[in-house]
Amino acid sequence: MKKIYEIRDIDCANCAIKIENEIKKVKGLKDVKIDFMRQKLYFDDEQNSMNPEKMQQIARHVESEVSIFNSKEDNKTQKKTITFNQISVILGIIIMGMMFVLQMLFGLNQHIKLIFYIASYVLIGGKVIIKAMKNIKKGKIFDENFLMMIATLGALIIGEYIEGVAVMLFYQIGEYFQNLSVHRSRKHIESLMDLKVDIAHLLIDENIKDVDPESLCINDMIVVKTGEKVPVDGYIIEGETYVDESSLTGESLPLYKTIDDEIMSGSINLNGILTIKVNKTYKDSRVYQIIEFVEQNTSKKAKTEQFITRFAKYYTPIVVLIAFILAFLIPVFASLINQSTYISELAIYFKRALIFLVISCPCALVLSVPLAFYAGIGMASKKGVLVKSGSDLETLHQIEHFIFDKTGTLTKGEFIVTKVYAENKDYILKLASHAESGSNHPIALSILRAYKGEIETKNLKNYHEIFGQGIKVNYLDKALLVGNQKLLKDNHINFDIPDIKQTVIHVAYDLKYVGYIVLEDDLKMSSKETIKNLQKMNKHISMVTGDQDYIAKDIAGKLGIIDIYAKQLPEDKKNLVMDFSKHRKTAFIGDGINDAMVLLSADIGISMGTLGSDVAIEASDVVIMNDEPFKLIEAIHISTFTNKIVIQNILLALITKFVVLGLGTFGLANMWMAIFADVGISLIAVINSMRILRK
């Protein structure tokens, strides 16, 4: 039994992986997966032995604050806005404030002040200390909680009370802002998830029955009322309306749709009542595929992020070691040099070591990098571009060579049958449509649109789609060929090649040539601008297509692309892209019809969301929801900006850290500088990352 639980209060993607591994150990559970961004836990509970409480217990072995509950029920817990920790911190601040007031009014004595300090320290830093203790018990000593704890406890011991409390306070404020910005990135991505519809109104003999969209079959009729989302893909057979596809495509302009128009699941019916004929089951519909796609996005970490995690692992113990040397060993030498006592030098260096520790906390580094990538992914999805992982977002702006597919990518792929050359025009269309009835290729769809008759499926046998060439099938037990000249030549059909500058589809039946159909395809609205922009960025641009030379040249000419490769079968395209990838970082941009392999061979595979098949979407790293190539440029900008922010954050953190660390070692930094170097920089990094969301 497949189950989905909500999982809240996981601190980081890394912790999510740890929890996932812990749950995987439980017997009887399969396919365990945690989606950190969406805060969901997926698993297959074979014996149906799990409940949220049990699961929560298991997860709390790893992270003590995690809460797990059923997706549908306990949504109240989700809405809790103030956590126990926040209340505790606020209380701590109040006590601190009270002390200052009392101090001014009555002048408190040292002992009473100490009680106030300790009370507020415990209230403000309690969570950090508990976490650090727990980690020590588990043997994972060196993390930021540990650094914070020893540094602040040390500050209290040497009598720097205000500083000790302040470090904790600022650290908590930094954490709060981080959570806030993860939350905001999350919301952008979640708005995609809202696409899912729970109920479909199925039409049975003029009666409406509410059913689960997953139970709908092809050719079912459903009703979508005003303001509702379309549950599965289909065609409108009654009604007209404006639809809002913004959560799918990022484009806010409503689109007019009427009878015979295709309507995408997830789009919102703004102002009409529609009857829709289902043409895809729920699992084949857009919505399901998007949800699947987004669910894969947490596992792959960006390289910078991996580097930082590794860095932190070695960095923290080294820092603690240096602090230790600074506190206890250096005083030995200092006392010799200065001819003073060890104890008096210890007092000086112990304090320096504490300052050193506060400064050294790598929080800003460790946290701001993934944060920026999340924000970037969130922003891209808001604009209608799905990016699978931080790693893909990182790579995107480094791409030097963009290789475009032609049909469906740069052109609309909505061919229009413009001419038919044959003795019997209805007959050739009938033959062609029968052959194409099983294909999803844009050419197939347009031929089927041009044909008005019925398809006799039972007369078709031995169907073969030869990618990049066409269809071979037995119709009424005789061989039927529909495709380009190569297909017919390979099957030894003789005919004269017509001199036509458009896409030509030849038809042969029973080993005899029947005639050909001429199709025309248009450029997409933003193709030209996209190429222009890429050229401005000095990128290499190529176009590959399975189509004939003259068509390739014609299209490439209109776009200003010089490097073209025509008559390429999917296999050839793959080899070509792999070849290019040896020299430069490449991206392949395809419509996703028969080019899943090619998508995988590029550094980044980009596919078109509405045209592409689910295999293609699965195989790609980036999906453009509304099929407009210009979204690529927007995605590159987001990638560039995100990476800029990441680098700024890293540099800012490292430089400040090293400067203040240096000053600290020589006793030139005080606790307040240390606080700024740590918490201040974390905060600036978080705020800097949030700029991505505002773009």
- Residue number with CB closer to Mg ion (591 or 603): 591
Residue closer to ligand ADP by CB (options 131, 412) is 412
Of 27, 26, 19, residue with least CA distance to 67: 19
Nearest Cα residue to 606 out of 586, 594, 585, 621: 621
What's the min distance (Å) between Cβ of 274 and ligand ADP? 30
212 is catalytic: no
Q: 276 vs 543, which CB is nearer to Mg ion? A: 543
Select from ligand ADP, Mg ion, none the partner in contact with residue 503, using the beta carbon and a kind-dependent cut-off of 5 to 8 Å: ligand ADP
388 or 441: CB nearest ligand ADP = 441
Is residue 30 classed as helix, strand or coil in its secondary structure?
strand
Q: How far is the CB of 492 from ligand ADP (least distance, A)?
A: 18
User: Does residue 220 interact with Mg ion by CB under 5 A?
Assistant: no
The residue whose Cβ lies closest to ligand ADP is 546
CA distance 123 to 324: 28
**Calpha distance 257→236 (Å, rounded):** 8
For the bound state, the minimum distance from the C-beta of residue 564 to ligand ADP, rounded and expressed in Å, comes to 11
Q: Which stretch, 65-73, 179-187, 429-437, 587-595, contacts Mg ion (CB under 5 A)?
A: 587-595
Rank residues 420 and 444 by Cβ distance to ligand ADP and give the closer one.
444
Q: How many CB atoms lie within 10 A of CB 314?
A: 10
Q: For the chain, first and last CA: distance in Å?
A: 42
Contacts of 343 (CB under 8 A, 6+ apart): none
| Residue 439 interacts with, from ligand ADP, Mg ion, none (CB under 5-8 Å by kind) | ligand ADP
Q: Which is nearer to ligand ADP, 356 or 415 (CB)?
A: 415
Q: Which does 178 bind (CB under 5 to 8 A by kind): ligand ADP, Mg ion, none?
A: none
Return the C-alpha torsion angle 102, 105, 106, 107, nearest 10: 80
> CA 576, CA 568: separation in Å to the nearest integer?
9
DSSP state of 591: -
C-alpha span between 295 and 227 (Å, rounded): 27
Query: By the 8 A CB rule, do 579 and 568 touch?
Result: no
Distances (CA, A) of 626 to 246, 250, 281, 615: 10, 8, 21, 18
Question: Using CB distances below 5 to 8 A depending on partner kind, what does residue 441 bind out of ligand ADP, Mg ion, none?
Answer: ligand ADP
C-beta separation of 315 from 142 below 8 A: no
- Which residues from 390-409 bind Mg ion, rule CB under 5 A? 405, 407-408
Phi, psi angle pair for 379, to nearest 5° = -65, -45
Q: Which of Mg ion, ligand ADP, none sits in contact with 127, Cβ below 5 to 8 A by type? A: none
Q: Give min distance, CB of 322 to ligand ADP, in A.
A: 60
In the chain, the largest separation of any two C-alpha atoms, in whole Å, equals: 113
Between CA 71 and CA 412 the distance in angstroms is: 40
Annotate 80-117 with DSSP letters as a single string. Answer: --S-HHHHHHHHHHHHHHHHHHHHHHH---HHHHHHHH
The answer for residues whose C-beta is within 8 angstroms of residue 307's C-beta and 6 or more apart is: none
Shortest approach of ligand ADP to residue 533 CB, angstroms?
22
Q: Give CA–CA dist 541/564, Å, rounded.
A: 9
Least Cβ distance, residue 611 to Mg ion (angstroms): 9
Residue 469, binding choice from ligand ADP, Mg ion, none, Cβ under 5 to 8 Å by partner class: ligand ADP
CB of 599 to Mg ion, least distance (A): 11
Which does residue 166 touch among Mg ion, ligand ADP, none (CB within 5 to 8 A, set by kind)?
A: none
- Residue 5 CB, nearest approach to ligand ADP (Å): 42
Q: How many residues of this chain interact with Mg ion, rule: CB under 5 A?
A: 5
Cβ closer to Mg ion: 405 or 627? Answer: 405
Minimum distance from residue 511 beta carbon to Mg ion (Å): 29
- Helix (H, G, I), strand (E, B), or coil: what is residue 34? strand
Stretch that binds Mg ion, among 136-144, 506-514, 586-594, 597-605 (CB under 5 A): 586-594
45 binds, among ligand ADP, Mg ion, none (CB under 5 to 8 A by kind): none
- Distance, in Å, from the CA atom of 13 to the CA atom of 297, rounded to the nearest integer, reads 11
Q: Which is nearer to ligand ADP, 550 or 658 (CB)?
A: 550
Residue 304: which of Mg ion, ligand ADP, none does it interact with, CB under 5 to 8 A by kind? none
**Cα 175 → chain centroid:** 23
Q: Which of 405, 547, 621, 678 is catalytic?
A: 405
Point out which residues bind ligand ADP (CB under 6 A). 405-408, 436, 439, 441, 443-444, 465, 468-471, 482-484, 503, 505, 545-547, 593-594
Q: State which residue, 378 or 442, has the beta carbon closest to ligand ADP.
A: 442
Residues interacting with Mg ion, by CB under 5 A?
A: 405, 407-408, 591, 593
**Residues known to be catalytic:** 405
